[in-house]
Amino acid sequence: MNGSKISVIVVANELLFRLGLARLLNDDDRLDVIAVSDGEPELLELCRATSVDVVVMDIQLSRTDSIDLVRSIASVCSTTQTLILTSTTDWRVRPAMIAGAAGILLKDTSPQAIRAAVVSVHLGDQVLCNEAARWVLGEAPDTRLTQREAAVLRMAAQGASNAEIAAQLRLGEKTVRNYVSRLYHKLSLSNRAQFTTYAVHADIEGGADRAELAQARDESMVESP
């Protein structure tokens, strides 16, 4: 590793994306991409062993929860900064920043701006695209849940079927389906496994505790192809 350069690890699901991003970053004489990863468990040890300066991470990971990974990196590698890339900003912005992310950018940000952001977060600055800044400032679309929506979400996050939710809440199955569809739209989620991830990181009162929800989320990730 060239000590005069900022060391970088790129973390993303898709091989072509992470290799392409690594090449894009290496085009900058200030940066040195020392590794790429899909988020495997060995990543934390690699960060610790190399004292990497910046981790550039796709927020959508299949092998691990990206927000938990940000928190773990901040815990075991206090000098490492994390820059998040995302296709679209959503509810995950604030939990990611609270977990320790130094910046969030959209994937369609120009290569020059992404390279500049890596340098900026390494120097201790916070970098947010306009869309992410609106989420941090509370100006994003309202995602507050009604009591009933929160109850449906909690049970779905624990793996309950629509029929089980209907029986527990004394609702018709069609009504539960309507609530589930509304939650997908309101929270910009696309499947029930994401309900669990949302419930782990968002402030959902009552029901299962964070440990139970995290276990349910991890089990759903293991079962996912």
3-state secondary structure 181-223: HHHHHHHCCCCHHHHHHHHHHCCCCCCCCHHHHHHHHHHHHHH
What residue ranges do the domains of the chain occupy? 6-136, 147-223
pLDDT at position 208, please? 46
Torsion of the alpha carbons at 94, 72, 205 and 137, rounded to the nearest 10: -10
For the chain, what is the mean pLDDT?
Answer: 86
What is the domain class of 6-136 according to CATH?
A: alpha beta
Mean pLDDT of 18-25: 96
Q: How many CB atoms lie within 10 A of CB 215?
A: 14
pLDDT at position 122, please? 97
6-136 shares its CATH topology with 147-223? no
pTM: 0.73
pLDDT tier at 193, thresholds 50, 70, 90: confident
pLDDT at position 128, please? 95
At the second CATH level, the architecture of 147-223 is Orthogonal Bundle (1.10)
- Which is higher by pLDDT, 191 or 48? 48
pLDDT tier at 216, thresholds 50, 70, 90: very low
Per the CB < 8 A criterion, the answer to whether 192 and 148 are in contact is no
pLDDT at position 117, please? 97
DSSP structural state of residue 145: P
Is the pLDDT score of 93 beyond 70?
A: yes
Give the number of residues written for the chain. Answer: 225
pLDDT at position 218, please? 52
Residue with tokens 């970088």: 8
Is the pLDDT score of 98 beyond 70?
A: yes
* Token pair recorded at residue 22: 């690594």
- Which is higher by pLDDT, 2 or 104? 104
Mean pLDDT of 112-136: 94
| N-to-C CA span, the chain | 36
Mean pLDDT of 144-148: 85
